[in-house]
Structure formats: structure tokens, C-alpha cells
A = this chain, B = another copy of it.
């Protein structure tokens, strides 16, 4: 079984590199940290890597400062683990490190996972990679300490919209129940993750909501964030997270779109759909990917051009529904 292969590989390794995906989220960071703590408890060496900065919102987690964005000099790893990455490009600047590693593992829950590692511990039924890491820690026969519980709870909470997305399962609650036994301050974690917001974030939200445009009889809600919005509000890239939900949660909306202008010639789009529409289908039209309900793509076109094409394509998909 795959999980036993992972346990064996970790047991044999001496120095392990753990890599979270570019533009990391709570699941990537939390799962990496939980894995890191567990490997440390097995008295092995480990390094945490991530191309992009850990979002400020996760700063309440211990050891987030251990994530490095450059390879430690004079170090070689006998095992490299990609965490919450659906494909090898999600490793960002650590793709080389991964490819040069004598043995590689991917731990992931995305249905679009390409199976890019030597051992692929992929469970698309898991609501978060954190759930898979939880199972792995059990298999490693390790006790869960407070820091590990906090990291995994954060991973699971953030990837399930705090137990509210459709991926939330009996397993999710069962794991949360167990994690809550390990001295977690659940109210504090919720406050840090969901309630305290920077003024820059609120200013960005204000700008984004201001851009709200409805199409197709209010079935499509579109938000845009321009370079200027980011510059003038002094918002961080991670401040764009969750903004798309304001569009998704409008009564009757079937498709929510967020277009984020990266520079004058490229944008990133995020898509959220209700049951009727497949977000990944729309994303694939732009060479993107994701899940049925949530998908995205990077497009090398100016904002204005993307808007036109995207709305056209979306409108025709909506028409098929009628």
C-alpha cells in the first residue's frame, strides 16, 4: 500500500526536504509543519521550503519562520516530499531540488494530481492534505503534540472553509475532534484565521467589491483586482484570498469569477461554481485546472481582453444549462 511505502521511505531517510507549493495556503503550510514536526520526532533532519512567503495570516503558527526560499548550502537530501502540490510546477523554484532527489514523495488531495513523484500518496477524498498527513502520523505511530495539532487543524479548517465546503466529511469532523483533544485554543485559531484582518485587506476588499459586475441574469458575478488596486491599498498577494467568496455567496450566482491583474500582459483567474457548472472545464479552456467547484488559470493576455473572452465563454456555458 502506498502509505506503507511512504512510512518505509521516511523511516529509511536521514535528511528530508519538505516543499510546500507556490503561493502557499493554510493547508500547504500546516501540512508541511505537521510533517516537519513528525520527522523531527523520529530524530531525523528536515528542512522546510517554500518559494513564496508564508501568508501573514498564518503567522500565529509556530515555526513558520523556518520556511526557506533558498536551498540551504552544502546540504543534500536523501528524500524530498512535495506537499499539497497537484503538479511539479507547483514546487516553484524547488522543482530542481525535487528532480535531483534520489527518492521523492508527493502527498496531495487534488483530483488533478499528475502523479509526478516516485511515491504518490494522493487521496482525492481527503478534504485537505492535512487529513492525509494526519493519517500518515498515525501510521508512523507518533503521538500528536499541540503544535502538530494546531498545524493540522489550520490545514483542515482553511481547506474546508472552516467545515463549510462540500468536501467537509465525517472524517474531517472525526479528525477535528481528535485534534481538539491536544490543547488547542479553537476560538483563538478561528479569530486569527478568519476574523482579524489588516486594514490593507479591508481596503482591497472594498475596491474589489466596488468592481462587482453581474451577467446572465445575475447568475455570473465577476470581481476584478487591478495592479493599481494592489499598489494603492498596499495589500499583500495573500490579501486577495477569500475575496471571490463574496461573489460566490450572492443569492442565485452559479459562477463567480475573480480576475487578478498580474501585470500589463497577464492575469490570474479564479473560478467558483455551484453544482450545475464545472469550474475546471471553464479553466481548462484557458489551460488552467482545479476542481469541479473551484478552479483557476494564468493567462498571458491583458485584463481587458481576458474579461471579454471569459464572459463570452462563461455565458455560453450558462446558456447550455437552460
A interface with B by C-beta (< 8 Å): 161-166, 168-170, 173-174, 176-178, 180-181, 185-187, 190-191, 194-199, 202-203, 205-206, 209-210, 212, 214, 218, 221, 245-246, 249-251
Nearest Cβ in chain B — how far from A286, in angstroms?
A: 26
Given contacts A206-B206, A210-B206, A210-B210, contact A198 B164 (CB under 8 A): no
Q: Chain B contacts of A251 at CB under 8 A?
A: 196-199
Q: How far is the CA of A173 from the CA of B191 in the complex (A)?
A: 18
Q: Chain B contacts of A218 at CB under 8 A?
A: 199
* Extra A-B contacts (15), CB below 8 Å, given A198-B251, A199-B221: A161-B190, A162-B164, A164-B190, A173-B174, A174-B174, A176-B176, A177-B177, A195-B249, A196-B250, A196-B251, A199-B250, A202-B209, A202-B212, A205-B209, A206-B212
Q: List 19 A-B contacts (CB under 8 A).
A: A163-B163, A163-B176, A164-B190, A164-B194, A166-B187, A168-B186, A168-B187, A170-B180, A173-B173, A197-B249, A197-B250, A197-B251, A198-B250, A199-B214, A199-B218, A199-B221, A199-B251, A202-B209, A206-B209
Q: How far is the CA of A170 from the CA of B175 in the complex (A)?
A: 10
Q: Are the C-beta atoms of B173 and A250 separated by less than 8 Å?
A: no
Q: Chain B contacts of A206 at CB under 8 A?
A: 206, 209-210, 212
Q: How far is the CA of A178 from the CA of B196 in the complex (A)?
A: 31
Q: Chain B contacts of A245 at CB under 8 A?
A: 195
Q: Are the C-beta atoms of B166 and A249 separated by less than 8 Å?
A: no
Q: Are the C-beta atoms of B174 and A177 separated by less than 8 Å?
A: yes
Q: Chain B contacts of A177 at CB under 8 A?
A: 170, 173-174, 176-177
Q: How far is the CA of A99 from the CA of B190 in the complex (A)?
A: 42
Q: Chain B contacts of A210 at CB under 8 A?
A: 206, 210
How many copies of this chain sit in the oligomeric assembly?
Answer: 2
Q: Chain B contacts of A174 at CB under 8 A?
A: 173-174, 177
Nearest Cβ in chain B — how far from A57, in angstroms?
A: 10
Q: Are the C-beta atoms of B250 and A202 separated by less than 8 Å?
A: yes
Q: Chain B contacts of A246 at CB under 8 A?
A: 197, 202, 205
Q: Which residue of B lies closest to A252 (CB)?
A: B199
Q: Chain B contacts of A169 at CB under 8 A?
A: 180
Q: Chain B contacts of A168 at CB under 8 A?
A: 180, 186-187
> A249 touches which one: B176, B180, B196 (CB < 8 A)?
B196
Q: How far is the CA of A210 from the CA of B214 in the complex (A)?
A: 19
Q: Which residue of B lies closest to A171 (CB)?
A: B177
Q: Which residue of B lies closest to A190 (CB)?
A: B164
Q: Which residue of B lies closest to A214 (CB)?
A: B199
Q: Are the C-beta atoms of B170 and A187 separated by less than 8 Å?
A: no
Q: Which residue of B lies closest to A180 (CB)?
A: B170
Nearest Cβ in chain B — how far from A292, in angstroms?
A: 12
Q: How far is the CA of A164 from the CA of B186 in the complex (A)?
A: 6
Nearest Cβ in chain B — how far from A86, in angstroms?
A: 22
Nearest Cβ in chain B — how far from A69, in angstroms?
A: 25
Q: Chain B contacts of A161 at CB under 8 A?
A: 190
Q: Which residue of B lies closest to A250 (CB)?
A: B199
Q: How far is the CA of A178 from the CA of B163 in the complex (A)?
A: 14
